[in-house]
A and B are shown apart, each in its own frame.
Chain A
Amino acid sequence: MQKNKTNNGFYIFIILQGLVIAGLFSTAHKQKDYSEIENRTLTEIPAVSWSDVMNGTYQEQMESGLKDQSDLKTASVRASTVIDMLTMHYDKNGTYFNTKGDYVKKETDNDYTDKHLELNSKIIAKFADNTGKPVDLCLIPPKGSVHPEELPDFAPYLDDMKFREKVFKNAKDYDNLSLVSMENLLSSDKEAYFRTDHHYNAYGAYLASKDYLTSIGYPSNDYVVYVPQEVGDRFQGSLYKKVPIFTNSYDQMIIPTNVDHVKISYYYSGDGRLTQDKKSMSFYEPGYLLTKNKYNVYMGGNHGLAVIDNTDKKDGQVLFVIKDSFANSAAPYLINRFKRIVMVDLRYFSSSVSETVKKYDPDRIVFWYESLDFAQESRFPALLR
């Protein structure tokens, strides 16, 4: 009977201790403000504020804070991913993964609507009409369309061909709007995307650029001409951060080193005004190779406006690029065909795109987006301002 009493008491003690210790993992240390692995600011356990309690903010932050501050967080994400794999569930946090340690951003036909895609196409066609310039749609296929072998078995994925047919159908009624065929990228014979990041790698960026230059009548150099070189340490990219389980999966940053000399002026856009931020004589910001965001080695990441002048060329055309981050690593392969490339990222640009086009008077405009980003972009109406 004594043994029985010990059992109950011991059990109660273990459970309560376990709960308290779980709490101490979150509270018994200095609060962390940033997570390297998640690349985001962490919620801190808040101080009590009556107004925050009344509107529920305090309670939300307390719960988030206890989870974010827990020293068990990385272990818990790994444990839950192991459980996912044991139950044959191979996606988490919007990312597919397979047992070989490949990651693919989860993109399916359910992530966009035909209505929104058509709307975006119409806006761009109107924009093209307004500017009077030829406009190209360079839509980068997502990784799973180029490397379906890296998807988990049977994983549903975006039907890129059907997607392009829809865009083509929307575009074909407009004479000055053309869709770039991405056949070189789609039929890539080697790895064209990072293993642990959602971007294409240097070779993928080269293929996309080759596809674009070919479509507008320019020849493209062979990849080796650009003398691609490894730079920085191995890294684990954006997709690994979402599912940090395959610690042996890495990528290596490669940059083309034999490119034309450039002078780049960066601007940031605030309150509708453009202010010069900085200048650079290179596409590359080596400082980022020491950070977790190694892809930002290309042009220091995204800027509202970047004007790239080819100092090796006195004559040539001007290209205006409206883009997402995929264009950053393609720019070095494009510059040798243009005397100037102007790049606008609508996420960080609040000035008038039309006025900017007038100012730089490009010979052509290209929308350089990953396919789904293009379908989901909600900022295109700003093009008509």
Chain B
Amino acid sequence: MVFSSMVFLTIFFPIVFMIYLLIPKRVRNLFLFLASLVFYTWGEPVYIFVMLFSTVFDYVNGRLIGFFRSKDKNKSEKAVLVVSVVGNLAILGFFKYSDFFLTTINHLTGSSFELLNLALPVGISFYTFQTMSYTIDVYRGEVKPQHNIINFGMYVCLFPQLIAGPIVRYKDIAEEVDSRRFNPPEIAKGLYRFTIGLAKKVLIANTAGAVYKDIAAIHTENLTGPLVLISALCYTIQIYFDFSGYSDMAIGLGRVFGFHFPENFNYPYMSRSITEFWRRWHITLGTWFREYLYIPLGGNRKGLARQILNLLIVWSLTGLWHGAAWNFVLWGLYYFVLLFIEKCFMLKVWEKLPKNLEFIRVIVTMFFVVCGWILFSHTDINEALIYLRKLLSPSSWAAGFNFAGEHTSPGYQTLYMWRSSIIVIIVGMFGATSLPHRIFEWVDRKSERRGEKQISDLQMITSVVLLFMSILILISESFNPFLYFRF
């Protein structure tokens, strides 16, 4: 089940909300746990057992670490931690990467190992990382082990963030697992955030995605430089609004039920460097890799050579986390190189730039981000390289201005796609900045009802209109892909 579906919007959520409202507090965690299982089973009736196993596995591991700590058995604690990490990575590796490794081995050695053709359990990359973070934090003494398996199961399976994040560490919501607010101001703010997220996904991301799909259908020999640029910009917009929209929906839903999930995006397309971009994009993933991999490896505390190695490991795995294909690894390594260059000298160069020229930094950063998305969006690396070549090739750009033959010319095709996409590109670029938020705040400042505890008239009207439009669009279109769903 996805949030942007009629089943979720018109059946599942209203029913879950009404029941949650009416039942006693003491059974709410159990109810949320069961509702989350229904949510997950709807989309994954077979592999729910993998998630349940992962849940029980790390519940037991957490309890064992706590037990061994109480007995001062440090080695046993460590052993359980290792079992937990290895076990989770094994589950993830088996379901997500088996065929990737088999294909690579077959390709390199000429062998013909049969592929397993396993379906990827939905959300496995997210919930395994979540449960791993739990046992690691228990081991570090940052959280106490959760003794109530229902509460722990609710944390792991909680439907708002189950299948596409944010990656919520247990310590982020440990207190709220046991006690949280469920009141009109929180529900209203949560619903508002949810409707904004839904609109971002359905109205902007899907529209940009439709243009991207149209261009992707063009044979590569007919592509021109401008068409590749439109395609790349539309994908850039699609992936941001798709993923941040989903995160907004997840955070909004979490808030409805009293949970405050961490933010996952902070206007990443306003970044002035790649370093800054990765502090603003998919924040919870970056935090996870920093806290549980980069820093334990030594971070930047063991000299430059070790830092470079640590960055290489982290970024290779970041790429690989996104998908079981070499283009994702290449994408990760692409960012490793850019970050390395920045750390070596580019950041110092940027800092010397006057403040009124900082927009140059944003443009340059976005150029590299957009090129990165071209790598990311093509599992066929050759095709990605063709796109990149055409983007940067003067002759491909010249072809885009060839209007001979009118409707059959590449120039007409380019103009048509520009015309079809310019509004969504402008809206997307505007929406990706903090300007809409600042405009809303400025308008709200004038409203007599402004305050932290209530939703303003402007927010109400915007939310209702966007929800109505989103539902209409959902009904009308079958085109409703979800990019981060496959992770």
A interface residue numbers (CB < 8 A to B): 3-5, 7-12, 14-16, 18-20, 22-23, 26, 53-56, 59, 62-63, 66-67, 70, 72-73, 75-77, 79-80, 83, 86-91, 109-110, 113, 144, 148, 151-159, 161-162
Which among B150-158, B287-295, B297-305, B414-422 touches the partner chain?
B414-422
Q: How far is the CB of A13 from chain B (nearest CB, A)?
A: 10
Contacts of B5 in A (CB 8 A): 63
Closest to B477 in A: A80
Given contacts A5-B184, A15-B467, A18-B468, contact A76 B191 (CB under 8 A): no
Q: Does A19 lie within 8 Å of B423, measured CB to CB?
A: no
Question: Which A residues are in CB contact (< 8 Å) with B219?
Answer: 109-110, 113
- Residues of chain B in range 331-357 having any CB-CB distance to chain A below 8 Å: none
- Give the distance in Å from the alpha carbon of A11 to the alpha carbon of B13 in the complex: 16
**Residue B112, interface by CB 8 Å:** no
Asked whether any CB of chain A lies closer than 8 Å to the CB of B117, the reply is no
In the assembled complex, the Cα of A153 lies from the Cα of B418 at a distance in Å of 12
Query: Closest 7 interchain pairs by CB?
Result: A23-B10, A159-B408, A156-B413, A76-B476, A66-B6, A4-B454, A8-B184
- B10 contact from A19, A56, A80, A155, Cβ within 8 A: A19
B413 touches A7 (CB 8 A): no
User: Which residue of A has the minimal Cβ distance to B218?
Assistant: A110
Answer yes or no: B475 CB below 8 A from chain A CBs. Answer: yes
A11 vs B459: C-alpha distance in the bound complex, in angstroms? 10
Interface residues in B172-225 by Cβ distance below 8 A to A read: 184-185, 187-188, 191-192, 195, 203, 207, 210-211, 217-219, 222
* Chain A residues whose CB sits within 8 angstroms of the CB of B416 once the complex forms: 152-156
Contact at A4–B451, with CB atoms within 8 Å? yes
Per the bound structure, the CA–CA distance linking A86 and B424 in Å amounts to 10
B420, B468, B477: the one contacting A90 at CB < 8 Å is: B420
Q: A10-B460, A19-B13, A23-B10 are in contact. List 8 more A-B contacts (CB 8 A).
A: A53-B45, A63-B7, A72-B471, A83-B207, A83-B473, A88-B419, A144-B407, A162-B408
A62 to B167, CA, bound (A): 30
B443 at the A/B interface (Cβ < 8 Å)? no
Identify 29 residue pairs between A and B in the complex whose beta-carbon atoms are under 8 Å apart, listed by A's number.
A7-B456, A8-B187, A10-B460, A15-B191, A15-B463, A19-B10, A19-B14, A20-B10, A23-B6, A23-B10, A26-B6, A54-B45, A59-B1, A59-B43, A62-B7, A63-B7, A67-B474, A67-B475, A73-B475, A75-B472, A76-B472, A79-B472, A80-B473, A80-B476, A89-B211, A91-B420, A110-B222, A151-B407, A155-B407
- Are the CB atoms of B423 and A87 closer together than 8 Å? yes
Size bin of chain B's contact surface: 35 or more
Q: Using CB atoms, name the residue of chain A closest to B411.
A: A154
**Which residues on B sit within 8 Å (CB–CB) of A18?**
464, 467-468, 471
Q: Which residues of B contact A90 (CB under 8 A)?
A: 420
Q: B residues engaging A (CB < 8 A)?
A: 1, 5-7, 9-11, 13-14, 17-18, 42-43, 45-46, 184-185, 187-188, 191-192, 195, 203, 207, 210-211, 217-219, 222, 405-408, 412-413, 415-416, 419-424, 449, 451, 453-457, 460, 463-464, 467-469, 471-478
Q: Is A11's CB under 8 angstroms from B188's CB?
A: yes
Q: In the complex, what distance in Å separates the CA atom of A26 from the CA atom of B10? A: 10
Q: Is the CB of A88 within 8 A of B476?
A: no
Closest residue of chain A to B13, judged by CB?
Answer: A19
Contacting residues, chain B, for A91 (C-beta < 8 A): 420
Asked if B419 contacts A154 (CB within 8 A), the reply is: yes
CA distance A9 to B184 in the complex (A): 6
Question: What's the minimum C-beta distance from A167 to chain B, rounded to whole angstroms?
Answer: 16
B17 contact set on A, CB distance < 8 A? 16
Which of B192, B408, B454: most chain A CB closer than 10 A?
B408
**B218: chain A residues within 8 A (beta carbon):** 110
Name the residue on A nearest B207 (C-beta).
Answer: A87
Closest chain-B Cβ to A213's Cβ sits at a distance in Å of: 29
Which A residues touch B454, using CB under 8 A?
Answer: 4-5, 7-8
**Shortest CB–CB separation between residue B100 and chain A, in angstroms?**
24
Contact A7 B10 (CB under 8 A): no
Knowing A12-B188, A80-B473, A157-B407 are in contact, say whether A109-B222 is a contact too (CB < 8 A): yes
Pick the contact of A4: B18, B449, B460 (CB < 8 A): B449
Give chain B residues whose Cβ lies under 8 Å from the Cβ of A14. 460, 464
Which one of A26, A67, A79, A86 lies within 8 Å of B423 (CB-CB)? A86
Chain A residues whose CB sits within 8 angstroms of the CB of B455 once the complex forms = 7-8, 11
Q: Chain B residue with minimal CB distance to A112? A: B219
**A60-B448 Cα distance, complex, nearest whole Å:** 47
Which A residues lie within 8 Å of B42 (CB)? 59
Question: Distance in Å from the Cβ of A69 to the closest Cβ of chain B?
Answer: 10
Chain A residues near B472: list those with CB within 8 A: 72, 75-76, 79-80
Q: Which residue among A18, A79, A144 has the maximum number of chain B CB atoms within 10 Å of its CB?
A: A18
A102 to chain B, nearest CB (A): 14
